[in-house]
Structure 1
Amino acid sequence: MFQLVEKAVLWMAVLRIFSGSLEIIVAMIILKVNNIEKALAINSTLALVGPLILITTTAIGLLGLVDRISFTKIIWVFIGVACIIYGVRSGN
């Protein structure tokens, strides 16, 4: 009947719910300020949160898998996350 949720999965979901809620709240704040300069500043501040959530949820997931996968695979996942962040942040 009831299925237990792994702690790592639960915390990953909680972080994503928090992140999504924060995005919605910031969108409403941007609409409320109704000023392009302030909206851009608010949006830029929010842009810092996304990568932190990505790194944190990935780390939690990997910690949940640490006994099931090799250390080399964990390193490859972190390298992949770093490449994603670099690609998104890169201006060119």
Structure 2
Amino acid sequence: MTKTQVSVIEALSNGGWMTSTQIASFAHAKKDTVRILLAGFVRDGVVKKKADPERHNGMLYHKAEQAAGFGIRANMQEFNDLISGVRAAYAATN
């Protein structure tokens, strides 16, 4: 992981929702670089995003509660979590 990637994750570790501009400022990185990193982190399930109600077309970013494991995409991690829940419920009834 690069220093910029680590800085972006550290910025999001406070638990709050942040804009890409706020994250770039904290990480001392270019906004475009941070936006590219955030897109990858969102795709991989490390970061969540939502629309910013205060800015038209703005987005807010937040570190995911449980990041997908190494090499596991977020949707596959969610599927695994759902299957685990079904298996646990089935085991409890038998």
TM-score higher than 0.5 here? no
> Structure with the greater relative contact order (CA < 8 A, sep ≥ 6): 1 or 2?
1
Name the structure with the higher strand share: 2
Name the structure with the higher helix share: 1
Relative to the length of structure 2, the TM-score reads 0.25
Relative to the length of structure 1, the TM-score reads 0.26
